[in-house]
Structures are given as C-alpha cells and as structure tokens.
Amino acid sequence: MKKKSENRLKAAARPVHPQKPARPVPGDTLGIIAPSSPFDKDKFQKGLSFIKDLGFRVFFPETIFEQKKYLAGTDAIRARALNAMFADSDIKGIICARGGYGSLRLLSLIDFNQIAQNPKLLVGCSDITVLLNSLFSRCGLVSLHGPMIESLANATEPTKHAFSEILLTDQNLSIPSADPVTVHAGRASGTLTGGNLTTLCHLVGTPFAPDFSGHLLLLEDIGESPYRIDRMLTQMKMAGCFEQIYGIVLGAFTGCGDPADVYQIFYDNFAKDSIPVLAGFSIGHDEPNLSVPFGIRATLDTDSGLLSFSESLFS
C-alpha cells in the first residue's frame, strides 16, 4: 500500500507539456481574483488604476471583498472565482489581488482539466507560488511571477516598468542581478520555476509537490530567520526536491537577517552539487519586484550576472 501511495504522489507531480498563454492586448479584459488573504481596498483601487492606465479593462466578482478571518472568503468562493476566470473566454488574463495565505487550501477544488484547456496569463507571487507551480505541474501553464494588484498601488517605477514591458512588448527578457553575489560560479540553462521558499516547503509531501528536475529554481522569502531558511532547505533536500536541478536564482530575502548569512546557508547546502547559484536579484517581497516568467527556458550566468530568456512568455 505504501509503495502505491508513493507512486501516486510522484505521478501527480510529473510535469506536462508547457502551455503558453496568448498575450493580452490593450482593450482586453483582465480578471482579478483573491485566492489568499484579504486586501486593502484603497490599495486595490489604486492598483486597478495602474492596470487601466495600461489600456486594459478589469473584471472581478463582488465576492472578492468577502472575508473569513485571514482568508478572502471561504475556500469554495475563492476556488469558484479562480475556475470561473479560466472558463470565461472574455477574460484574457488573471492577476491576483494579494498573497498572504490561502492558496494551498484551494488545490483540491481546482478544475485542472478545464484550466489545461483554457491556458491564460496568471500573475502573482508570495503565497501565489502554490498556484504558479501547481498549475505548471498539472496543466503545463506558463505564468508570470510578478507584482499583484495591492502591491502595484505603491510600487516603484522599476517594478511597474518591468511589469508593463513584459505585458506589452515582444522582447526576450534579460534580468541583471542588481547586487550580484556569486554563491557558486557557473552557467546553466533550464526551465525557470520556484518562488517563495516557505510556500514551496509547504508543498513537500503533498500530491501537488512540483518536480524541479532540469529546472533553474528561483527562491525568495520574507521574515524568516537564517536557521529557518536552513531548516527548510534541509527538509526539501532530504525529500529529494533538489535532485537534478540545474541552478539557483536568489531573489530578495527581506527581513531574513544578514544577507551574507543567508548566502552562506545556500553555499553550505549546494556547494557539493556544482550548480551555479547567483544572489542579488530584485525579485520578491521588496522593491523593486521585477516580473519573471515561470515555465520557459532561461540561462543563468554568474560571470555576466544575468538571468536571460531565449523565448517569450506568450504563444
């Protein structure tokens, strides 16, 4: 019985063929969902104004303002909104209102078959790491790790520029490390995935745990002590999560102590793996928070300090 259970978990996490969304164009409608925590209504309206200024229409269900303690409504309400956005042909892309906590609770309620048949842009970060990785593993959905509606309200110009550029232009993306620190030198190419370290760690042992084999792994976090980062990496390493990964991209570790201590932890955990590990990317819970595609191939080069993409996020 145990062997069958293990096989079922592994099969559930096996990636499918990547599916790129069509590019939304100005005039299209973008749907807004709140799959995690409640949000600040004033910031929400200000973030919506930025999206509208780019030329997009927006739509959100009235249930988006629901609140159940630390969640933006019941699990059923939040999951129904997510499924409905993917099913609605008038919605050309989906942006999350905020992270926080709650996406994990939706996984058993998501209609993965429907989403696989209706791939469209999904944008989010932090707790939305759950959705970005699960939808890639189950549906092959290529997505965007980027700012959300609430954070766009007070986002810096680099954050807004990076977001609008990837949405509105066809240029292949190349992101320099703002403060490059080579934890382990090298150059590698692979499919970029990952996101918030704590959230990824919470997927370990579930049927939704992603398979990072052949991937470049982006990691970031906020408010975690160095020993907790070490503990999460150790747990994930013992669980086999990092077997056959090709490289690690380190974003912001905001409020996680001395960055040098954090980088030393990554060195200690991955020095023997002979994979490139480059820190200092402006991605995560700080400003700027640059947008990066998940699910397409990228190259990490510690000599140039670059994370570069050879293809577009969009079909």
pLDDT digits (tens, 9 = 90+) for 91-108: 999 999 999 999 999 999
Q: Using the structure block, give the residue that is written with the tokens 């703002």.
A: 178
The phi and psi torsions of 124 (rounded to 5 degrees) equal 175, 175
Rounded to whole angstroms, the Cα distance separating 113 from 269 reads 37
Q: Which position has the higher pLDDT, 14 or 49?
A: 49
pLDDT of 231: 98
Rounded to whole angstroms, the Cα distance separating 116 from 18 reads 10
> What's the mean pLDDT in 203-224?
97
Which is catalytic among the residues 126, 137, 143, 282? 126
pLDDT of 148: 98
17 is catalytic: no
pLDDT at 19 over 90: yes
pLDDT of 170: 82
For the chain, the distance separating the N- and C-terminal CA atoms, rounded to the nearest angstrom, is: 42
> What's the mean pLDDT in 6-31?
73
- Whole-model pTM: value is 0.93
Rounded to whole angstroms, the Cα distance separating 207 from 110 reads 13
> What's the mean pLDDT in 114-123?
97
For the structural domain made of 2-168, what CATH number should be given? 3.40.50.10740
Q: If pLDDT is split at 50, 70 and 90, which confidence band does 16 have?
A: low
> How many CA within 13 A on the CB side of residue 246?
16
Helix locations, 204-283, DSSP H: 226-238, 259-270
pLDDT of 223: 98
Which is catalytic among the residues 145, 184, 202, 285? 285
Contact (Cβ atoms closer than 8 angstroms) between residue 111 and residue 40: no
Amino acid (1-letter code) at residue 81: A
Q: pLDDT, tens digit, for every residue of 131-143?
A: 999 999 999 999 9
Strand pairing of 306-309 and 297-301? antiparallel
Across the chain, mean pLDDT equals: 94
Domain boundaries, the chain: 2-168, 174-309
Which is catalytic among the residues 36, 143, 150, 220? 220
Strand pairing of 292-294 and 143-145? antiparallel
Percentage of the chain beyond pLDDT 70 is 95
- The continuous run of DSSP H or E covering 95 comes out as strand 91-96
Cα 193 to Cα 30, 45, 133, 200, 264: the distances in Å are 23, 30, 7, 11, 22
145 is catalytic: no
CATH 3.30.230.70 given to domain 174-309: no
Cα 254 to Cα 69, 102, 178: the distances in Å are 26, 21, 15
pLDDT at 11 over 60: no
Rounded to whole angstroms, the Cα distance separating 287 from 166 reads 17
Contact (Cβ atoms closer than 8 angstroms) between residue 141 and residue 295: yes
**Domain 2-168 identical in fold to domain 174-309:** no
pLDDT at 189 over 80: yes
Contact (Cβ atoms closer than 8 angstroms) between residue 94 and residue 121: yes
Lowest-pLDDT choice from 39-48, 110-119, 162-171: 162-171
> What's the mean pLDDT in 262-275?
95
308 is catalytic: no
pLDDT of 10: 36
pLDDT at 8 over 60: no
